Amino acid sequence: MSAASPAGGLSRRSAIAALASVLSAPALAGLRSDPDFDVLIVGAGPAGIAAARRLAGSKWKFGVLEASDRRGGRCFTDTTTFGLPYDQGACRIHLPPRSSLAAQAARNEIDLYPDPEALQFRLRGRRAFERGLEEVRSKIELEQFYADRVRCYEAIASAAAGKDDVSCTDALPADLGDWRKTMEFFLGPYRCGAELKELSAKEYAVSVDRGPAVLCRQGAGALVGKLALGLPIKFFSPVNLVDWGDRSVALETSGGTLSARAVIVTASTAVLASGRIKFKPNLPAPYARALETLKLGSYDHVAIEFTGSLLGLEANEVVFEKVGDSKPAALLANLHGTRLSILNICGKSGAELSREGEKATMDFALDWLTGVFGANAKKAIVRTHATSWNKQMWTLGAFSSAVPGGQGARKLLAEPLGERVWFAGEALSQSFWGTVGGAWQDGERAADAVLARLGK
């Protein structure tokens, strides 16, 4: 990590102390004729951290205000619950050759390795097709699923080439047979956190080519957290109001008011749309509509530690149940070759379970495991943990997706307010929305725009 310091030659430790000092004496802020900072960043998730690292190499005085007590936002590695790295949110880095975040991993001794993307499908209580002749049929079915997935991508791309935008559901081939619901779950909730009927075909077509992904053995959240070390971050500092009506921007926080020449807001679109952070003057109508358009989907993890390797599955093997009338889910088995497996509960059914509470989520997870793997799976469970991102106060969901006709919302939000307020995050990434790498690179984009503006 670069040792470059903020303005005035301050070390990063001094910058953190200076940020805390200004926040502890808010009454002085109203007496200053000059802003307290050149740049303030709202949020210490991947976008906020990426922006801060960009600014750390400049001459400008900056600080990061984080509402919670930790770094990483929706990219957080829990190492205490199981004594193993467990990403409660984002866990993959997509298309590493084009990812500036993946490049940072190598420089910071974070172990990345290819996601094998091995899939398996099961019927209740047994593999979709068992040994012998059934094993041959299993391979045929899996090959057919891969072929159908390519056909679906091509159909969505063809629909996207048309003048009018349609939903991804309307674009799918009609002859997917009795695996159609499984395909819809795979392409929609599992990949995007939202139902296919809620996804813009034009936007989906742009996002298909994310290439092979890599996994972080220490955790994607651990990587983001490590890159945040030394940055001037003030925790427990939620921003309540962004007043951008003057030449400088005033941020009202729980500890007082701070001012800056420029502000980068990295809060989620759901938080911004909820009005939890208010703007004065109000956001222009196109911005408000864009936030509503880019709603966050639902994507939660139920982490399950087993007594041993789960039923002979390979490390990071993904297991789907053939979707029928029950709620769908997908299991990432034996994470990084450990005893930990992650059940992904997402989309509409995931949101319903989240609203019902942790008990309903855990009951569903246990029923799914026993239904797919038999009663022995339940007996082998050591402990569990469930996330609930929809209920996280400063998140209110998983990641963004655009409804049909809404693909232009991301580009609109990338435009600054009055050359003083910039938005950043995964929701503004044009092709890598919904990913930690997309959030990181959009934070860099916003920081570069701010630096260009300050330079003028």
Q: How far apart are CA 398 and CA 400, in angstroms?
A: 7
What are 31's two structure tokens? 């007496």
Q: Are 362 and 386 in contact (CB under 8 A)?
A: yes
Rounded (5°) CA angle 126-376-90 = 80
- How many H-runs (helices) and E-runs (strands) does the chain carry? 16, 20
pLDDT of residue 452: 97
Residue located via tokens 């920081």? 447
Q: Which of 373, 269, 393 is nearest to 321 (CA)?
A: 373
Helix (H, G, I), strand (E, B) or coil at 141: helix
CATH of 7-73+220-295+403-455 given 3.90.79.10, 3.90.320.10, 3.50.50.60, 3.40.50.300:
3.50.50.60
Q: How far apart are CA 382 and CA 370, in angstroms?
A: 15
- What residue spans define the domains of the chain? 7-73+220-295+403-455, 131-207
Q: How far apart are CA 51 and CA 49, in angstroms?
A: 5
Q: What letter represents residue 101's amino acid?
A: L
Q: Are 429 and 441 in contact (CB under 8 A)?
A: yes
pTM of the model: 0.90
Helix (H, G, I), strand (E, B) or coil at 278: strand
Q: How far apart are CA 439 and CA 392, in angstroms?
A: 19
HSE, CB side, 13 Å, CA atoms: give it for residue 116.
16
Reduced 3-state DSSP string for 34-68? CCCEEEEEECCCHHHHHHHHHHHCCCCCEEEECCC
pLDDT of residue 138: 62
What are 160's two structure tokens? 């996207």
pLDDT of residue 29: 41
H-type helices in 346-435, by residue range?
347-356, 358-373, 375-379, 409-413
The packing angle between helices 347-356 and 358-373, to 10°, is 130
Per-10-residue mean pLDDT, the chain, length 456? 40 60 48 82 98 96 96 96 95 90 87 85 53 58 85 96 95 91 94 95 88 91 95 96 95 94 98 96 96 95 88 86 86 93 96 95 93 87 95 95 92 96 96 93 98 92
Q: What share of the chain is helix, strand, coil (3-state, %, to 5)?
A: 40, 20, 35
